[in-house]
Chain A
Amino acid sequence: MIDSLSVYENLALGNQYTGRFWLSESRERRHAKDVFTKYGIDIDAGASLGALGAASRTMTAIVRALHHGDAVNGILVLDEPTASLSEVEKDHLFAMLRDVKAQGGTMLYVTHRLHEVFELADRVTVLRDGRSVATRDVVDLNHDSLVELILGRPVDAFYPEPSVPGKDAVLEIAGLQGGAVKDFSCTVMANEIVGIVGLDGSGAGDIPHLIFGATKRDAGDIKLDGKSCNPSSPWDAIRKGFAFVPGDRKRLGGVADWTLRENLTLPKIIGRGPLRWLSERWEGKQVASFLSDLEVKPNDTEAGFSSLSGGNQQKVMIARWLRCQARAYLLDEPTAGVDVGAKSAIYNALTQLAADGAAVLMTTSDLEEACAVCDRVYVVHEGRITGELRGARLTVDNLLGEMLRPNTSSRENLTHA
């Protein structure tokens, strides 16, 4: 997919133009519109792809493959197609895929999200450490037995016990505004993990960026430990006690070509002595314990960041902030593209942080995770809080209900064809 081209140009890439000689823009655009209508998707074919949200981009890629590829006679390979999709969009995609299946198509679907396996697949092959360990019919499996196959050991408590929220407010946000966020206020107590969920485009993903000062705030007051601090830039935010794990690990997280050691010390590089001398060995000693605490594999400070699996990369990203000992941890989709084993380690780390008295604020699109890990979850729609769930009311169904309740355009866009 090419960001600088328009949607219809992307759709036609790969020798699927409507005419042979004269490339007519309007004809291409009309054709693309027809295709989208056929699949029941509302995407502006003339828009530049880079301007679209993550979900629309993924949908465009999927439509291109479905429409132009010989999906029925060939094999359709999907690698984590729902990574950036919301529940509604995912349901829509699944309906499309079931359609292909009904027509006799074959699909290979790669995913981390186990419930998708049960929703969609007939057979599942589990890979562990680069080897296939089992191929089973899905009907013979349940969630726990699948996790057991993946982990290679019985499932003990996958989600850690939540800590008891404290009495003191650590992070207070009032009237946050900027980007897609219109008005967001919340308070995170000590020892508390608070979740933010919302559909693509709801602004949920912008909130940590705005708090951290990575994106410009239009309005809003941010207090940390009762003191107004309003970070003006990430640099400022870190000095004031914030930590932020961005969602796009490859682009915004780590430096791919660097070692784990260099990636880990990046927010807080400490030189030795009056000359601030930076030696690899001394630096390695500082970070080694963080790698082993989070069970990063390989447990080697000199390993290249890009050589790690997604889950281990994310562990390094979190270890980086554990080292900085922040008061408030902001996380954007901390377990997106992360394998089950690493997820468990990340949940443990977050719970431990909360238990130590920090405030944790995370966005997630995995509702099951939101219910299990968070003490409280805010539902954000079109940049505003539309619901807050906690305790017994915090269930996947309730969350989904809250997310879909406001009857607005983004829902209409994706009603099934």
Chain B
Amino acid sequence: MLDTTRSSKTRERTSEAPGFGARLAHVQLGRYSGIFILIAIIAIFAAWMPQSFLTEATFRTILQGQAITAILAIMLLFPLATGGFDLSAAQIMGFCALVCGALITREPRLDPGTAILLVMVLGALIGAVNGLLVTLFKLGSFIATLGTTSLLVGAAALVGNGEYLGPFPDSFRGLTAGNVFGIPVLTIYLLLIALVFWYILEHTPWGRRVYATGANPDASRLAGIRTDRFIFWSFVISGTGASVAGVLLASNLNSVNQSLGPQYLLPAFAAAFLGMTQLKPGRFNIWGTVLAIYLLGTGVQGLRLAGADLWVTDVFNGLALIIAVAITVFMQQRRRRREVKAKAAEAEGTNATSQAKDATSPATADVTAAEPAKS
């Protein structure tokens, strides 16, 4: 009885395979949906309020305003790709911005170049502490970085002392002021950083090993990947990158205080997860993240121009994060279904090998007692 139902099911699947599902799989609409949504958002706001939204100033604001969040999000991708979370990145950024401001404005008033260098070393050190906590002391990355976040909040209060530090000398402010070919210089930084890290993460053997560490740490270790090193360095990268973002933030704001940082955490994570659904689905990737940042940023800016209250920003980001993760889960399920179909189609085409279920680990050797099927 059972064999007949099985084979008829297979036939159903194969007859479906060249149909709608398979065509959808080939087009992979989902991969580029973010671009279409971005265009749709721009079109909606453009039609709604052409005078205020469709201006050079608006686009420049969006490009510039989201650049620092985008840089932070790119840095988050490294720990995420190794299977870890760097919850402290936003606080590292805020703390580094504060320290940078303090080094420049307080005695002995270091010159900006030295200050930036020191701050980057500081960021790398904090990242290294995170990395050691996760790899050497085997704390979960979630707990470890939550802990360092809290430490940094305390340290920021100590350094900041409730003061506003600034304004900064022109040489420091000039770092992020102005445009190149009409594009805000901050956005140029973002594009350069994205380009470099896209190459490192997505087109080098090193980056592939970073992904492998997150995708299956045990298998990666047995394939000769020193997973602990990759996890450690991913936290050093996110720490250093966050400090660079902090320097840019200080320069851009021209005034820093101890409360900077946490407000960037959620948008950056939202973008990283939303980016995972784009361009290279199922994998944290750089350009997907940049796309996601500008998708969120454009939406928020449009709503602001439409007169929405400040809380709308947070609601928008929160919704986007939830929807992004929901989409990711949905797409993974769809891909799995697609693979089953592909397998059935493959079986149809060949006759040489026998198809059989495999069971390697005891966990998969499943044993069930079932009532006889009604038939």
A residues with CB within 8 A of B: 1, 54-55, 57-58, 61-62, 64-66, 68-71, 73-84, 106, 108, 110, 112, 125-132, 135, 150-153, 212, 214, 233-235, 237-239, 244, 246-258, 262, 265-271, 275-279, 295, 297-298, 303-304, 306-307, 309-313, 320, 333, 336-342
Q: How far is the CB of B26 from chain A (nearest CB, A)?
A: 13
Q: Which of B353, B364, B367, B371 has a CB less than 8 Å from the CB of A341?
A: B353
- Is B111 positioned at the interface, with any CB of A under 8 Å from its CB? no
A252 near B222 with CB under 8 A, answer yes
Do A246 and B222 have beta carbons less than 8 Å apart?
Answer: yes
CA distance A125 to B3 in the complex (A): 7
Question: Once bound together, how far apart are the Cα atoms of A214 and B371, in whole Å?
Answer: 44
Question: Are B282 and A266 in touch, CB under 8 angstroms?
Answer: no
Known contacts A81-B365, A255-B215, A341-B354: A69-B370 contact under CB 8 Å: yes
Roughly how many angstroms separate A83 CA and B363 CA in the complex, as a whole number? 10
B350 interfacial contact with A, CB 8 Å: yes
Is A269's CB under 8 angstroms from B361's CB? no
Interface residues of B in 324-343 (CB under 8 A from A): 335-336, 339-340, 342-343
> Which B residues between 355 and 373 are near A, CB-CB below 8 angstroms?
355-372
Q: Once the chains bind, are B353 and A129 in contact (CB under 8 Å)?
A: yes
Q: Could you tell me how many residues of chain B have their Cβ less than 8 Å away from some Cβ of chain A?
A: 61
- Asked if B351 is an interface residue, CB under 8 A from chain A, the answer is yes
Q: Is the CB of A130 within 8 A of B355?
A: yes
B362 pairs with A70, CB closer than 8 A:
no
* A150 and B205 contact, Cβ closer than 8 Å, known pairs A255-B219, A337-B360: no
Q: Do the beta carbons of A266 and B212 come within 8 Å of each other?
A: yes
The 8 Å CB contact of A270, one of B7, B205, B344, B353, is B205
Are B356 and A339 touching (Cβ within 8 A)? yes
Given contacts A54-B362, A57-B362, A135-B3, A235 and B225 within 8 Å (CB-CB): yes
Known: A277-B203, A304-B339. A129 touches B354 (CB 8 A): yes
Distance (Å) between the CB of A320 and the closest chain B CB?
Answer: 7
28 contacts across the A-B interface (CB closer than 8 A): A58-B362, A64-B367, A74-B370, A77-B369, A79-B367, A80-B357, A83-B364, A108-B2, A110-B356, A112-B356, A128-B354, A130-B343, A130-B344, A234-B222, A246-B222, A251-B216, A252-B218, A266-B220, A269-B205, A269-B208, A271-B203, A277-B199, A278-B205, A304-B339, A306-B336, A309-B358, A337-B360, A339-B358
B182 within 8 A of A: no
**Interface check B10, CB cutoff 8 A:** yes
Contact in complex: A337, B205 (CB < 8 Å): no
Residues on the A chain within 8 Å of B207, using CB: 278
- Shortest CB distance B235–A (Å): 20
Q: What residue in chain A is nearest B369 (Cβ atoms)?
A: A69
From known contacts A79-B365, A112-B356, A129-B353, infer whether A266 and B225 are also in contact, taking CB-CB under 8 Å.
Answer: yes
Q: Does B221 contact A (CB under 8 A)?
A: yes
Contacts A126-B354, A251-B218, A271-B204 known; 4 new A-B pairs at CB < 8 A: A235-B224, A254-B216, A277-B204, A342-B353
Is there contact, CB below 8 Å, between B356 and A127?
yes
Q: What's the Cα separation between A309 and B350 when bound, in Å? A: 14
CA distance A341 to B344 in the complex (A): 18
**Is B163 engaged at the interface, CB distance under 8 Å to the other chain?**
no
With both beta carbons as reference points, the residue of chain A lying nearest to B224 in the complex is identified as: A238
Task: Tell me which of A66, A126, A152 contacts B351 (CB under 8 A).
Answer: A152
Considering only CB atoms, which chain B residue lies closest to A133 in the complex? B354
Q: How far apart sit A254 and B219, CA to CA, in the bound complex (Å)?
A: 6
Provide the bound-state CA to CA distance between A268 and B220, in Å.
11
Q: In the complex, A372 Cα to B225 Cα: how many Å?
A: 34
Contact A128 B360 (CB under 8 A): no
CB of B367 within 8 A of CB of A65, answer yes
Interface contact B206-A276, CB-CB below 8 Å = yes
Is residue B109 contacting chain A, with contact meaning CB distance below 8 A?
A: no
Q: How far is the CA of A214 from the CA of B218 in the complex (A)?
A: 10
Q: Please indicate the chain B residues that have their CB under 8 angstroms from the CB of A214 in the complex.
A: 221-222
Pick the contact of A68 from B224, B358, B361, B369 — CB < 8 Å?
B369
What residues on A are CB-neighbors of B342 within 8 Å? 298, 303, 307
Most interface-central of A55, A128, A233 (chain B CB within 10 A): A128
Hey, which chain A residues are within 8 Å of B4, CB to CB? 132
Most buried by A among B207, B226, B335, B347: B347
Q: Looking across the interface, which residue of chain B has its beta carbon closest to that of A67?
A: B369
- Residues in chain B near residue A338, CB distance under 8 A: 358
> Hey, which chain B residues are within 8 Å of A83, CB to CB?
359-362, 364-365
Q: Are A234 and B369 touching (Cβ within 8 A)? A: no
- Contact across chains for B212 and A255 when beta carbons are under 8 A apart: yes
A244: chain B residues within 8 A (beta carbon): 222
A262 to chain B, nearest CB (A): 7
- Across the interface, which residues of A come within 8 angstroms of B158, CB to CB? none
Q: Which of B48-100 contact A (CB under 8 A)?
A: none
CB of B314 within 8 A of chain A? no
Known contacts A277-B203, A307-B342, A339-B353; is-contact A65 B369 (Cβ 8 Å): yes
CA distance A271 to B212 in the complex (A): 16
| Contact of A70 with B371 at beta-carbon distance under 8 Å, contacts A83-B362, A112-B356, A127-B354 already known | yes
A65 x B368 contact (CB < 8 A): yes
Across-interface contacts of A68 in B (CB, < 8 A)? 369
Q: Within the complex, which residue of B221, B364, B366 is in contact with A250, where a contact is CB–CB below 8 Å? A: B364
Interface centre among A84, A153, A277, by most chain B C-beta atoms within 10 angstroms, is A84
On chain B, the residues within 8 Å of A112 by CB distance are 356, 358
Report if A248-B225 is in contact (Cβ < 8 Å); known contacts: A152-B351, A262-B208. Answer: no
| A297 in contact with B369 given A125-B3, A130-B344, A255-B219 (CB within 8 Å) | no
Complex contact A129–B355 (CB within 8 A): yes
Q: Is the CB of A69 within 8 A of B359?
A: no
| Contact among B343, B353, B365 for A307, CB-based, below 8 A | B343
> Looking at the complex, which one of B202, B216, B363, B370 makes contact with A77 (CB distance below 8 Å)?
B370
Asked if B352 CB lies within 8 Å of chain A CBs, one says yes
Check if B6 is an interface residue, CB within 8 A of chain A: yes
Minimum C-beta distance from A40 to chain B (A)? 17
- Decide if B310 is an interface residue (CB 8 Å cutoff): no
B354 touches A253 (CB 8 A): no
Contacts of B209 in A (CB 8 A): 269
Chain B 250-283 interface 0/1 with A at a Cβ cutoff of 8 Å (1 = within): 0000000000000000000000000000000010
Complexed CA–CA distance, A254 and B361 (Å) = 14
Q: Do B369 and A71 touch (CB < 8 A)?
A: yes
Contact: B354 with A339, CB < 8 Å?
A: yes
User: Within the complex, what minimum Cβ distance (angstroms) separates B132 from chain A?
Assistant: 19
**B366 adjacent to A79 (CB under 8 Å):** yes
Would you give the shortest CB distance from B220 to chain A, in whole angstroms? 7
In the complex, are the beta carbons of B355 and A128 less than 8 A apart? yes
Pair A66/B369 contact, Cβ less than 8 Å: yes
Residues in B with CB closer than 8 Å to A320 are: 223
Q: How far is the CB of B282 from chain A (nearest CB, A)?
A: 6
State in angstroms the CA–CA spacing of A297 and B343 once bound together: 10
Shortest Cβ distance from residue B366 to the other chain A in the assembled complex, whole angstroms: 5
**B350 surroundings in chain A (CB, below 8 A):** 129, 297
Whether B361 contacts A54 by the Cβ 8 Å rule is: yes
- The answer to the question of B16 belonging to the interface, with a C-beta cut-off of 8 Å to chain A, is no
| Nearest-neighbor residue (CB-CB) of A200 within chain B | B362
